[in-house]
Amino acid sequence: MIQLILFLGVGVLLFASLFLLMRQKPRSEGGAEELCDAREALDSLQVDLLPPMLVRRIFAKEDLDFVRSAAPRDVCDAFIEDRKRIAIAWAAGLSQQVINLQRFHRGSARHYAQLSFRAEIELALDFAVLRAACRMLELTLRARGPYGAAVMVSTATGVATRVAAVSEQSLAFLRTAAMTTSASPVAERERRG
Amino acid sequence: MIIPMKTATKRLDVTSASADLENKTLAQFSRAIDRLIYLASTRDYNTGLYYHDGLASRYSADAASEALALCHQEVFQQLLDCRLSDLVDQMEGYISTAHTSPKEFITVWRGIEPYRITVPVNTDPVARELFASNIKIALAILEARLKRRPEEGSASSRPQ
């Protein structure tokens, strides 16, 4: 009799657990805000920080050679100081946006993108390499200036471009909404009403 | 993907207005720096919106504003992408058409830095700083050239 009551008790508990689990809403990992932050980070990487022309201009040796040939020493020093400051700001921006993207991939990307296990492992490795490369790049820029870090710049931008391409696949569905709106001042005004 | 009809029509208007602007107004300027300064001058400092009566009458005020914003961003990008030596040449050309002496021009531009307000609104801070630095260095190089040839710096081209 006691055994029967125990079995019935366990059964009722199991049913109750199942019922509660079925009624529970799916976990809302990665809300709209998280998605928007990830999209912003990706746009910032692709549009503001990674375009090859911008990177080339910040680190262009030909500009340094030109200034050396056309300007006095103090102007040349000011130019190198300016370029160093800009290069460090660029590397810091790259690093920050990579951290933002990594947060998205750690937290909620798997709920939106059907990445294979292998792709996720590769992405995790890329992020690890990229974080280390960004840190090294910042240190090198501080120590040796913008013209002593060509290899590091090339490595960091190469890996960042690859990571951005994978992230783009994960966030591709957000593009539809973005294409129907515009970042122009008029669209901005319309959005604000 | 379905794009609403109104949006598609507006986009078409903006594209036509941009082409119109490039072919008629901007084609009159041979240098990108002149185009940048012209386009920045069509923007309201308080609202960030662009105005062009001729373009607005042919299309719509909104399409004209977006076309001007689009061209402004493109021209800014062109200047950001160009070599420092090219920018110095462009600045030298621009100064030669300004109605003031090169020396005075350089003093004023270094003092009040008007080039900072020629940057499009949504420009990334790194690009903004790169542009400002390039102009600053270009002015310094032109000033150094003037010091080597002082007679050019004092020769005012101001209309009498």
Three-state SS string across chain A, please?
Answer: CHHHHHHHHHHHHHHHHHHHHHHCCCCCCCCHHHHHHHHHHHHHHHHHHCCHHHHHHHCCHHHHHHHHHHCCHHHHHHHHHHHHHHHHHHHHHHHHHHHHHHHHHHHCHHHHCCCCHHHHHHHHHHHHHHHHHHHHHHHHHHHHCHHHCHHHHHHHHHHHHHHHHHHHHHCHHHHHHHHHCCCCHHHHHHHHC
Reported as a pLDDT band with limits 50, 70 and 90, residue A123 is: confident
Predicted confidence (pLDDT) at residue B137 exceeds the cutoff of 90: yes
Same domain? For B70 and B87 the reply is no
- The mean pLDDT of A159-175, rounded to a whole number, is 76
To the nearest whole Å, the CA of A23 is away from the closest chain B CA by 34
Residue B50's φ and ψ, nearest 5 degrees, are: -105, 145
Most B CBs within 10 A among A76, A157, A186, A192, hence the mutation to make, goes to A186
* Segments forming the whole domain that contains residue A42: 31-178
Q: Is residue A23 situated within a structural domain?
A: no
* B96, B144: one domain: yes
Q: Which domain holds residue B42?
A: 1-80
The beta-carbon neighbor of A86 closest among B3, B69, B130 is: B130
pLDDT tens per residue across span A7-21: 888 888 888 888 777
Q: What is the pLDDT of residues A56-81, one digit of tens each?
A: 999 999 999 999 999 999 999 999 99
Q: Closest CB to B140: pick one of A75, A86, A176.
A: A75
Q: How many domains does chain B have?
A: 2
Does any domain span residue A60? yes
> Could you tell me if B157 and B136 lie in one domain?
yes
Residue A13, domain member (yes or no): no
Residue A111 has pLDDT above 70, yes or no: no
Choose among B126, B136, B140: nearest Cβ to A90.
B126
Yes or no, beta carbons of A187 and B85 under 8 Å apart: no
Q: Is residue A184 part of a domain?
A: no
- Tally the domains of chain A: 1
Q: What is the pLDDT of residues B56-100, one digit of tens each?
A: 999 999 999 999 999 999 999 999 999 999 999 999 999 999 989
